[in-house]
Structure 1
């Protein structure tokens, strides 16, 4: 049977014109037992469409690891380092992940207590909630009525020492059902989005760049961001914005002298735009919570200077300015009409191009609602590639 693809079902809130290339459901192939020829076709589809969905899939942790690894055959360690999140109790990621003992590259995530699962006698899982991370929270009364928020828009990446994974695979094992929730932005725009319970929300990094006005396109194509060493420990005491898109600047981050030992050579500096290896498109890929500095190259010779931002280049070290600049550039792309909130079913396998999208946990579960997923991504064998000289000339 030939591989069949069809568009993902979009919610009423989505603007179909912005999703013509994003996301495909794949049928006619077993993702756990792909032939080399089938994998090559799947690989091309993923980079072209950013996300692939396989329904009713039986997938072992070993198969999920093998599938994820096929996108980067020399990669072998979980994206944050095998077992590293569990050992780093100060990390904001610590409560969210449990490692599968016999396949340490695969993590068990979800909510509630899971028993006798893949070598784990008992695993207490915690669904991340905006109530513990945002500066403000929805009221308990609103929460009881199903009002919620995006938790944290991000890329799956350690952002220190290790390179960002190319692909993340998510496999739904136990999916509690419940009423839809309303994701509220609470940023004075009035924006809100109806979402399935426990959705994972995605936005396209390509769209994030495409919709920018010309002055921000020019800034993006000329810029690089520097991430803090051990950023998930650094950000833990701080508070996120109500949209989940970055951190409020309140001076609450962990002091540098309280971070674990670190080396300057392992600090990550990445382009703001990452080049798709198949399409050549530029994707705006910044994890706003971990950024501390912004480097801007000057305009290339002959570029129009009128209206340009930082035409002579800049090295921006003021944290508030860095965050405000990135927020202005990224916030338009999380508008309700540009978000794909996936409606999870048991045995859904969802693959996404981690270097082409941003995503967020959404919603809240009650303690007795058991949810279990297997997640796999692998620290890549290389760093992302940014714009080339022609891209800079075109957009600057």
Structure 2
């Protein structure tokens, strides 16, 4: 039997873009990957960070889960743990669990009569008006949009951030595009497909820093709030989706579920790529609470922490650095959750149905720093 070797083709950036990540992989049966073929896929992921497989509509939830798990065989819990069960969590409305494969979630928009054991499900695509301090006027909503929330897929309490997330496009609305606005005093905009997923490279984010800032992030750690998605549930996002306004709206610890100090997550600001050794600035800007500096100083003024993180991350989300995937039905996208941050984008009409499957698993090991 001939051994099938996958073809890996770097994605071609659009005119004016400086994107240097992303690849399409062809020639594999993802339901029946050999160890050598998976090794090639893993290498492609850590070399290119976002890997696209076309025409995967028939991929089963079981195979999607098994592919995701293969990146970290000791992992098994859904990446956000019991966050889904917390009614106050900002993630609660966005995800439905597939009954026969509970590590795989369904996300999207619109009414779906039946899918993989789920019946009469109403999906709701996150809209920036529910999370941002201000929003695009309703009469311009279908022409313009924003980044909803830049993030890493991670519980950020008790569980380690997943190695990889897999996203499968089952049903995708056709045709319409939107203009993404930054609305932060800059005149930056980005033409995006409806309901795109936007990615930026953490390695590029690190490379854009000054030498002084590179030294700071290589030697500092961030501490995340306990139960962060409940903690931030009353707060408002900046218009760029890159972190929160400091208005004192975060819930006090007395209003959170019980807190185990040992489960509070503290990670290096930069994470090392396990294949290339390159460093990526990987911070969830909405969930960060403190910065621990190399000299022992702890920056715990929340507004100051957010200003520091924003200053370091903002250059890398400018339009020329953003990869906005143009989803087609059957696209399976794997992304290096420890090497990119990403955001939901878009405003859908009620009758525009978008159906996706997502899988990520809380990692068995913490990220490795510089």
TM-score in terms of structure 1 length: 0.91
SS in 2 for 1:225: strand
Alignment of 1:51-70 (within 5 A): 51-57=50-56, 58-70=58-70
Per-residue deviation, 1:256: 1.2
Contact 2:5 2:37 in 1 (8 A): no
Distance 1:54 1:370 in 2: 22
- CA deviation digits over 1:68-111, x for unaligned, max 9? 00000011111012xx2432110000010000011110000000
**Residue matched to 2:338:** 355
Per-residue deviation, 1:173: 0.1
**Residue matched to 2:31:** 32
Per-residue deviation, 1:2: 2.7
**Residue matched to 1:285:** 282
**Residue matched to 2:300:** 317
Distance 1:365 1:385 in 2: 38
**Residue matched to 2:324:** 341
SS in 2 for 1:41: helix
Per-residue deviation, 1:254: 1.3
For the pair 1:214 / 2:211, whether they are aligned, the reply is yes
For the pair 1:6 / 2:12, whether they are aligned, the reply is no
Distance 1:323 1:163 in 2: 22
**Residue matched to 1:46:** 45
Alignment of 1:161-180 (within 5 A): 161-180=158-177
Distance 1:235 1:50 in 2: 28
Distance 1:13 1:326 in 2: 27
Per-residue deviation, 1:123: 1.3
TM-score in terms of structure 2 length: 0.97
Q: Which of 188, 201, 207 in structure 2 is aligned with 1:204?
A: 201
Per-residue deviation, 1:7: 1.7
Moved over 6 A (4+): none
Distance 1:90 1:140 in 2: 26
**Residue matched to 1:142:** 140
Q: Which moved more, 1:323-332 or 1:174-183?
A: 174-183
SS in 2 for 1:176: coil
Per-residue deviation, 1:6: 1.1
SS in 2 for 1:43: helix
**Residue matched to 1:88:** 86
Distance 1:142 1:334 in 2: 23
SS in 2 for 1:278: coil
Aligned length: 366
Q: Which moved more, 1:111-120 or 1:60-69?
A: 111-120
Contact 1:85 1:97 in 2 (8 A): no
Q: Which moved more, 1:26-35 or 1:271-280?
A: 26-35
Distance 1:30 1:178 in 2: 29
Distance 1:200 1:291 in 2: 22
SS in 2 for 1:47: helix
Distance 2:167 2:329 in 1: 11
SS in 1 for 2:161: coil
SS in 2 for 1:238: coil
**Residue matched to 2:249:** 252
Per-residue deviation, 1:9: 3.5
